[in-house]
Amino acid sequence: MTASLKGSRRSGSNGDLILKTVVGAAAIGIVALLIGLGIELTSGSWLSIKTFGLGFITGSTWNSVTDTYNVFPAVIGTLTASALALLLGLPIGLGVAIFLSERAKGMRAGASALGSLVELLAAVPSVIYGFWGLAVLAPFMRDYIEPTLKTYLGFTQLFNATPIGTDLLTAGVILAIMIIPTISAVSRDILNAVPDSQREAMYSLGATDWEVVRKAVLPYARSGIFGATILGLGRAVGETMAVTFVIGNNINLPKSLLSPGATLTTLIVNQFGNTFDPLSEAALVEVGLVLFLLALVINILARVLVWRMTRSTRFRV
Amino acid sequence: MNLNKTGTSGTTIGLVVVLVMVVVGAGAYIALNPNSGPTTVTQTSTATSTIATTATNTISTTATTTATSSGLGAATLTGGGSTLVYPIMQDWINTYAFVQPNIQITYNAIGSGKGISGITTGLFNYGGSDAPLTAAQYALLPSGSNLLTIPVSDSGIIPAYNLPGITAHLNFTGNVLAEIFYGSITMWNDHHIAALQSASVAAQLPAHAIQVYHRSDGSGTMYGFTQYLSDSNSTWKTQVGFSTGTIAWPVGVGCLHNAGVAQCIAGNSYSLGPLEIAYEIANPGQINFGAVQNHFGNYIVANFTNISEALAAGVKNGLPTTYTQWSSYSVIQATFNDSGKYIYPVSTFTYALVYQDLSASYASTSQAQAVAVVNFLSWVVTSGQATGPNSPTTTLGYPPLPSAAVTLDAQLLATVTYNGTPVLS
């Protein structure tokens, strides 16, 4: 017993060294990978950067015939579809999380079944979402949702187009469905981690369920929920296959939410196979670079926001 | 956190995940392969497959029979590129495994552009491309190399549509198609369209906007179609043009791959889009499509015979012999101006790319591989073109090469050398 304890302690010090080396290497490796990716994307797209300069981001033409490659419509498409996804997906995802952590507490089996069902949505491959989106969702949007939107909101430019089903709005809807499990699963864990003393304190003051959720639970979990949202946004920005099926893949600047559009990722998946001249290939790598920078900016903004929120929360709660 | 609870729920989730993955996987397989059951490999007997398609297109396989009757040495080949040719290429590879059991072939369907870059970098023993190389692409080939461009299959592109109530083949001209895809003609009952139809069909044309669909990805099919539109209409030629890469379609919605376009058209009334004929041949009667007017003035409903005939007309002056000629060559253009009575004007080749000197270091090919690749391609352009109820050309929808092209291919393949000696002897 004593011997084995000694032995384990001795190997424990060896283990410390191994642990230090392994985790240190892993951490450095990730940083190196990120930097290497940035360098590779920049050098791969150098020809395109040199040729188009800033016009690559601000121009609206993507045309192999004239060898002009600009991505403004795709940037707009990516931002619009992701924003729509958050707008639709966040309330639902958060709602599911609140239900699971606050309302379903008394029925543990039911809650865990519902929870795993929601998480299963995340395990469905995106190409399946895409196929379903094209076969089921797009016709549904075209026949029911979009004509209604056009009738009542057509006076705004946003919904003033012939409903076709494969457009930015449908892409936003399918992305919303895809990010709900991410948002709800992470938010549920965050909400479960809110100490019961928070809730009990509110109840003891005579607060209703709604007031408890709004004033005690959500503010406490705010930064975590924000993190969950950013995870969802990250998935929406990077999602490719499902979007390719339903967005309509038109590389002109979209005129409304009911117009077919394109995102940065769909541009790459649609065009990569058939490019083989140095300029168009460099342009596609630069699309990757823009996507990389976009993700970086979103992450940095998120960090800053979380940091500011946690500072202010510390004073409030 | 309650450890016990996590443990059980973890196991449950794990089990459910596995179960759902299996169900979803099976469902997706069935859903994504609506027409194909389990793949069956049919062994084509080389000895008996002399097949006559039409009087003008007789394909004789005698040459192959002698070439492949002796077993070839073991070799592993890698090819890749065109996705258009992939279904029949995979079938050819499966069948060839029976003909030459020692030869293993892998084909990566990663797009024509990547087929060209694969052959340029020596990654592939042969490439697949739906268009000849452009001047810029030729410039990137290793210095001193000579790359052969060998037609291996045919493809036709049909104007498919979904018009409730109309089952007749509508008539189209290249000019009217160009104006529809340019956005100048927007309505189905436009008088430009109505003027091409019989009176009874013209009266049925709906007063409804045309919903235009096309491929979202760069493709050989769209390359052929946009080249046809360029030949037909000067506005299209100057304002849009043609490419295997991105075409700046003035109107319409892009759908991924040929099957995507088929689904977009089938699922949306009043739609119109260019579809590779393979879909219609493999799924007869599933989709309505129009006849296209040829140079002679006849409206032609595309089929095996008139596509092969069109391409026979396209190569009647032979294939280009220099890179400069190849880079400006288009079989579409060659058929476009041909006044054959019954040729279908929107027909194109898909090509295999192989170096003429396979012993050169840039080709990265061993002698055994050289023998294998040349024999395989010789087999593809002869026995691989066999027609008949169970042949891959029929079941997968690839019209056979015209005999003129088969002869030209055989001449090209005979020039391939290894260390200065012809590979085929």
> CATH number, domain at A254?
1.10.3720.10
Determine the longest span between alpha carbons in chain A, in angstroms. 82
First-to-final CA distance of chain B: 76
Going by their DSSP bridges, the two strands B211-215 and B347-355 should be labelled as unpaired
CB hemisphere CA count around A224 (13 angstroms): 18
A35: pLDDT strictly greater than 50: yes
Based on the domain organization, do A66 and A149 belong to the same domain? Answer: yes
Q: Can you read off the two tokens belonging to residue A285?
A: 């790598």
Residue range B157-313, CATH number: 3.40.190.10
Higher pLDDT, B259 or A212: A212
Based on the domain organization, do A106 and A240 belong to the same domain? Answer: yes
pTM of the predicted structure, to 2 decimals: 0.77
User: Taking CB atoms and an 8 Å limit, are A134 and B263 in contact across chains?
Assistant: yes
Q: Can you read off the two tokens belonging to residue B185?
A: 């003609």
- Which residue in B has a C-alpha nearest to residue A244's C-alpha? B256
Distance between CA atoms of residues B258 and A86, nearest Å: 32
Element of type H or E holding B381? helix B367-381
Query: What sign does the dihedral B78-B80-B84-B87 (CA atoms) show?
Result: positive
Q: Can you read off the two tokens belonging to residue A90?
A: 């966040």
Based on the domain organization, do A94 and A120 belong to the same domain? Answer: yes
CA A272 to chain centre: 23
- Cα distance from B12 to chain A (closest Cα, Å)? 9
- Cβ burial of B195 (10 Å; 0-12, 13-18, 19+) is exposed
Which residues in B lie closer than 8 A to residue A276 (C-beta atoms)?
112-114, 116-117, 120, 137
| Residue A285 to residues A47, A61, A288, Cα–Cα distance (Å) | 10, 17, 5
Q: What is the pLDDT of residues B195-216, one digit of tens each?
A: 999 999 999 999 999 999 999 8
Nearest to B406 by CA among B383, B387, B389, B422: B383
- What is the side-by-side strand order in the sheet with B171-172? B171-172, B291-293, B299-300
Element of type H or E holding B51? strand B51-52
User: Taking CB atoms and an 8 Å limit, are A275 and B12 in contact across chains?
Assistant: no
Per-residue pLDDT of chain B (425 residues; tens, 9 = 90+): 343 444 444 455 555 555 555 555 555 555 544 444 333 333 333 333 333 333 333 344 434 444 444 678 889 999 999 888 999 999 999 999 999 999 999 999 888 888 998 999 999 999 999 999 988 889 989 998 999 999 999 999 999 999 998 888 999 999 999 999 999 999 999 999 999 999 999 999 999 999 999 998 888 889 999 999 999 999 999 999 988 888 889 999 999 888 889 988 988 999 999 999 988 888 888 889 999 999 999 999 999 889 999 999 989 888 998 888 888 888 888 888 888 889 999 999 999 999 999 999 999 999 999 999 999 999 999 999 998 888 888 888 899 999 999 999 999 999 999 999 999 87
CB hemisphere CA count around B241 (13 angstroms): 13
Domain range spanning residue A306? 51-316
Based on the domain organization, do A110 and A173 belong to the same domain? Answer: yes
Based on the domain organization, do A20 and A88 belong to the same domain? Answer: no
Q: What is the ipTM of this complex?
A: 0.73
- Cβ burial of A25 (10 Å; 0-12, 13-18, 19+) is exposed
* Alpha-carbon torsion angle A13, A15, A20, A25, nearest 10: 150
What pLDDT was estimated at residue B17?
Answer: 52
Distance between CA atoms of residues A169 and A148, nearest Å: 13
Quickly name the fold that domain B18-156+320-422 has: D-Maltodextrin-Binding Protein; domain 2 (3.40.190)
| SS3 assignment, position B25 | helix
Query: By mean pLDDT, which of A14-18, A144-148, A178-182 is the weakest?
Result: A14-18
What pLDDT was estimated at residue B23?
Answer: 59
A276, A279, A281, A284: best mutation site toward chain B, by most B Cβ within 10 Å? A276
Q: Could you tell me the residue ranges of all domains in chain B?
A: 18-156+320-422, 157-313
Nearest to B338 by CA among B302, B304, B313: B313
Q: Can you read off the two tokens belonging to residue B327?
A: 């880079």
Residues whose CB falls within 8 Å of the CB of residue A33, separated by 6 or more in sequence, listed in order? none
What is the DSSP code string of B124-137?
Answer: -SEEEESSPPPHHH
- Answer for the pair B224, B232: CB distance below 8 angstroms, yes or no: no
Q: What is the pLDDT of residues B100-139, one digit of tens each?
A: 999 999 999 888 888 998 999 999 999 999 999 988 889 9
Based on the domain organization, do A161 and A18 belong to the same domain? Answer: no
- Which residue in B has a C-alpha nearest to residue A122's C-alpha? B17
Of A62, A123, A128, the CB nearest to B246: A62
Interface of A with B (CB under 8 A): 61-66, 112, 116, 119-120, 123-125, 127-128, 131, 134-135, 138-139, 142, 162, 164-166, 244-245, 248-252, 260, 266, 269-278, 280
Based on the domain organization, do A263 and A150 belong to the same domain? Answer: yes
Question: At CA B67, angle to CA B65 and CA B69, rounded to 5?
Answer: 60
Of B20, B217, B248, the CB nearest to A273: B217
- Answer for the pair A221, A309: CB distance below 8 angstroms, yes or no: no
Two domains, one topology: B18-156+320-422 and B157-313: yes
Which residues in B lie closer than 8 A to residue A269 (C-beta atoms)?
217
What's the per-residue H, E or C state across chain A? CHHHHHHHHHHHHHHHHHHHHHHHHHHHHHHHHHHHHHHHHHHHCHHHHHHHCCHHHHCCCEECCCCEECCHHHHHHHHHHHHHHHHHHHHHHHHHHHHHHHHHHHCHHHHHHHHHHHHHHHHCCHHHHHHHHHHHHHHHHHHHHHHHHHHHHCCCHHHCCCCCCCCHHHHHHHHHHHHHHHHHHHHHHHHHCCCHHHHHHHHHCCCCHHHHHHHHHHHHCHHHHHHHHHHHHHHHHHCCHHHHHHCECCCCCCCCCCCCECCHHHHHHHHHHHCCCHHHHHHHHHHHHHHHHHHHHHHHHHHHHHHHHHHHHHHHC
- Answer for the pair B45, B384: CB distance below 8 angstroms, yes or no: no
What pLDDT was estimated at residue B56?
Answer: 38
Distance between CA atoms of residues A193 and A298, nearest Å: 26
- Which residue in A has a C-alpha nearest to residue B80's C-alpha? A273
Q: Can you read off the two tokens belonging to residue B407?
A: 């002869």
Is B268 in the A-facing interface, judged by CB distances under 8 Å? yes
- Of chain A, the percentage scoring pLDDT greater than 70 comes to 93
Name the domain count of chain A.
2
Nearest to A299 by CA among A234, A254, A242: A234
What pLDDT was estimated at residue A49?
Answer: 94
Distance between CA atoms of residues B81 and B352, nearest Å: 9
User: Taking CB atoms and an 8 Å limit, are B110 and A127 in contact across chains?
Assistant: no
User: Taking CB atoms and an 8 Å limit, are A266 and B216 in contact across chains?
Assistant: yes
Based on the domain organization, do A23 and A168 belong to the same domain? Answer: no
Distance between CA atoms of residues B254 and A245, nearest Å: 9
Of B24, B31, B136, the CB nearest to A277: B136
Is B239 in the A-facing interface, judged by CB distances under 8 Å? no
Based on the domain organization, do A6 and A24 belong to the same domain? Answer: yes
User: Taking CB atoms and an 8 Å limit, are A249 and B255 in contact across chains?
Assistant: yes
Based on the domain organization, do A11 and A64 belong to the same domain? Answer: no
Q: Can you read off the two tokens belonging to residue B364?
A: 């990265």
Based on the domain organization, do A91 and A24 belong to the same domain? Answer: no
Is B10 in the A-facing interface, judged by CB distances under 8 Å? no
Based on the domain organization, do A34 and A72 belong to the same domain? Answer: no
What pLDDT was estimated at residue B389?
Answer: 82
Bin A53: left if φ > 0, else alpha if -120 < ψ < 50, else beta: left
Place of tokens 């099926």: A245
- Cα distance from B94 to chain A (closest Cα, Å)? 24
Q: What is the pLDDT of residues A52-81, one digit of tens each?
A: 999 999 999 888 888 889 999 999 999 999
Contacts with A, B 62-121, CB within 8 Å: 83, 110-114, 116-117, 120
Nearest to B180 by CA among B228, B229, B222: B229
User: Taking CB atoms and an 8 Å limit, are A274 and B32 in contact across chains?
Assistant: no
Distance between CA atoms of residues A91 and A85, nearest Å: 10
First-to-final CA distance of chain A: 49
Residues in chain B: 425
Nearest to B218 by CA among A65, A81, A240: A65
Bridge partners (DSSP) of residue A243 are none
Is B55 in the A-facing interface, judged by CB distances under 8 Å? no
Going by their DSSP bridges, the two strands B126-129 and B271-276 should be labelled as unpaired
Distance between CA atoms of residues A156 and A141, nearest Å: 19
Q: Can you read off the two tokens belonging to residue A80?
A: 């619009």
